[in-house]
Structures are given as C-alpha cells and as structure tokens.
Amino acid sequence: MSKLILTHEVSGLGSAGDVVEVKNGFARNYLIPQGFAVTWSRGGEKQVDSIKAARAAREHATIEEAQHLKQVLEAGTVTLTVKAGEGGRLFGSVKTADIADAAKAQGLGSLDKKKIELTSAIKLTGSHTATVKLRDDLVATITLNVVAAK
C-alpha cells in the first residue's frame, strides 16, 4: 500500500489535501502520472495545509450562498449549442468546461469544471442531467438542453 496526498479531487477516493492509502499499482500507474496525487512524506504537512487552503478558497464561502446557487441551478436549464450531424449526433462530446462556460454565460453562476460530473458522455442532442458538487455536503443536479447549431 502507498500513502499519498491527493492534489485534486478523485471521485470515490477523496478531496484535494486528503492523505489516503491506495494499492501500489493504482498510485504508480494512475494517480501520480496523472498529477492527482504526490507521495506522502513527513514534510508534506505544509503541502497539505496549502492544498486545503486553496480548496477552501475555491469553495463557495457560506452554506447559504451554496444553497442559493443550488436553487438557481436546479430551477433553470443550461442550454448548450453544439455542432451536430444527422440524427442529432454530436461531432465530439460535451465537456464539463462547456457546461461551466454555458452556465456562466446564461447568468446561472460560476461553476468549477472539476466539480461537474456527467453520468455518461453526452454525444446526442436532447435533454441530459449532470451533478455539481458545490460543497462537500451539497450537490446540485442540473438539467442540460443540448441543441444543434444552425
């Protein structure tokens, strides 16, 4: 088992700044090369503190603000205009950055693309859903309307 400090949020494992133990192969072949984690050391306490401070700064300041943003996101629909071919098939797929940009452009709030999770790749026009982790204890479900560009 390898002891690591997460530098990014990894779904099912933990958030940035968490110290976790994972199997050697997972650490060596995925987490460390992708930049999601660094090897734990005794001097890593300062690094953990700085990662947690940065994470706190990115989080929405208060629970009330986050709850208000959740209400706004769940009440509205994020419309994405993308290039599509016959039958509504997209050229490529919708990325989390596209969703964050569209939400901001439509005045629904500023979202971190790393906090948006798609259940499956969006490769067709139509209605889809995604989840946004606003805080560690607050998740919003947003409705996406993917339309073909004219």
**Confidence band (pLDDT; 50, 70, 90) for 24?**
very high
Alpha helix (H) residue ranges in 35-141: 45-58, 63-75, 96-105
Confidence at residue 56, expressed as pLDDT on a 0 to 100 scale: 67
Q: What are the extents of the domains in the chain?
A: 2-58, 63-148
Q: What percent of the chain has pLDDT over 90?
A: 17
pTM of the model: 0.64
Model confidence pLDDT, tens digit, residues 82-140: 888 888 888 888 889 999 999 888 888 788 888 888 888 888 899 999 998 887 778 88
Sheet containing 138-148: give its strands across.
Answer: 77-82, 138-148, 126-135, 116-118
**Confidence band (pLDDT; 50, 70, 90) for 59?**
low
Q: In CATH terms, is domain 63-148 a member of 3.10.430.100?
A: yes
- The CATH superfamily of 2-58 is Ribosomal protein L9, N-terminal domain (3.40.5.10)
Confidence at residue 133, expressed as pLDDT on a 0 to 100 scale: 85
